[in-house]
């Protein structure tokens, strides 16, 4: 999963960008660097995954304005704000805009790595939920009906009676559902169904 995650670095200081790209690259992380918010937003795609590490003060839009624009576009990319002149109001504004972390320069590499690890953990959970939702969307209306009743703890005969079909047909539907969802037994099927319906899928 980490292979698809990228650290998007936004800083107008070329030396800082190069340093972060080198440090994170040596740690095996994919990176993409931008000199300002505008160039990042021009390149941004909805399927990007990973996290944003942005300077607070940038030419043009600020790091906090960048966060706001990303959220307005529906992006859930976690954002780590870095700054050489941090203060309480700036930090408060960043966190109010849903920043994951706020680091003052110069910061330890370990501090940044910890923030990125936390961001990646959040992203992995988001991507797994999205994948589960896509699997649920692949079910036919009848398969969804069977799944919902299986999640309620009903057995094949009870599901068959409720839907007006044979128990054998229920078992066929269950087998197809398990194949589509990538689960191996009924217990996993029920856990998947409960988790999926809990996410509004």
49-89, pLDDT tens digit by residue?
A: 999 999 999 999 999 999 999 999 999 999 999 988 767 77
Condensed to tens digits (0 to 9), the pLDDT of residues 162-200 reads: 999 999 999 999 999 999 998 888 788 877 777 654 333
Condensed to tens digits (0 to 9), the pLDDT of residues 116-125 reads: 999 999 999 9
Q: What is the mean pLDDT of the chain?
A: 89
pLDDT at 193: 74
Question: What residues have CB less than 8 Å from 132, skipping those under 6 apart?
Answer: 192, 195, 196, 199, 201
pLDDT at 152: 87
Tokens of 198: 């809990």
CATH 1.10.10.10 domain locations along the chain: 138-198
CATH dotted code for 138-198 = 1.10.10.10
Residue 201 has pLDDT above 50, yes or no: no
Spell out a b/e string for 18-55, using b for 16 or more CB atoms within 10 Å of the CB, else e. eebbeebeeeebebebbbbbbebbeebeeebbbbbbbb
CATH 3.40.50.2300 domain locations along the chain: 2-133
Record: fold of 2-133: Rossmann fold (3.40.50)
Question: What residues have CB less than 8 Å from 24, skipping those under 6 apart?
Answer: 7, 9, 31, 116
CA distance 20 to 7: 10
| DSSP symbol at 56 | S
Spell out a b/e string for 113-141, using b for 16 or more CB atoms within 10 Å of the CB, else e. eebbeebbeebeeeeeeeebeebbeebee
Question: What residues have CB less than 8 Å from 43, skipping those under 6 apart?
Answer: 32, 34
């Amino acid at each position: 999963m980490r292979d698809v995650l990228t650290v998007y670095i936004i800083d107008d200081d070329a030396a800082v960008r190069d340093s972060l790209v080198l440090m994170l690259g040596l740690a095996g992380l994919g990176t993409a660097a931008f000199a300002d918010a505008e160039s990042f937003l021009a390149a941004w795609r909805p399927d990007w995954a990973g996290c944003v590490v942005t300077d607070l003060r940038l030419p043009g839009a600020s790091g906090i304005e960048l966060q706001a624009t990303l959220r307005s576009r529906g992006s859930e990319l976690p954002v780590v704000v870095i700054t050489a002149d941090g203060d309480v109001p700036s930090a408060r504004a960043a966190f109010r805009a849903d920043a994951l972390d706020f680091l003052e320069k110069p910061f330890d590499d370990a501090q940044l790595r910890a923030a990125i690890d936390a961001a990646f953990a959040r992203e992995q959970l988001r991507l797994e939920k999205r994948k589960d939702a896509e699997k649920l969307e692949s079910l036919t209306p009848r398969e969804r009906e069977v799944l919902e009743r299986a999640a309620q703890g009903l057995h094949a005969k009870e599901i068959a009676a409720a839907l007006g079909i044979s128990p054998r047909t229920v078992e066929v539907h269950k087998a197809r559902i398990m194949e589509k969802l990538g689960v191996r037994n009924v217990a996993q099927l029920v856990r998947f169904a409960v988790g999926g319906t809990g996410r509004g899928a």
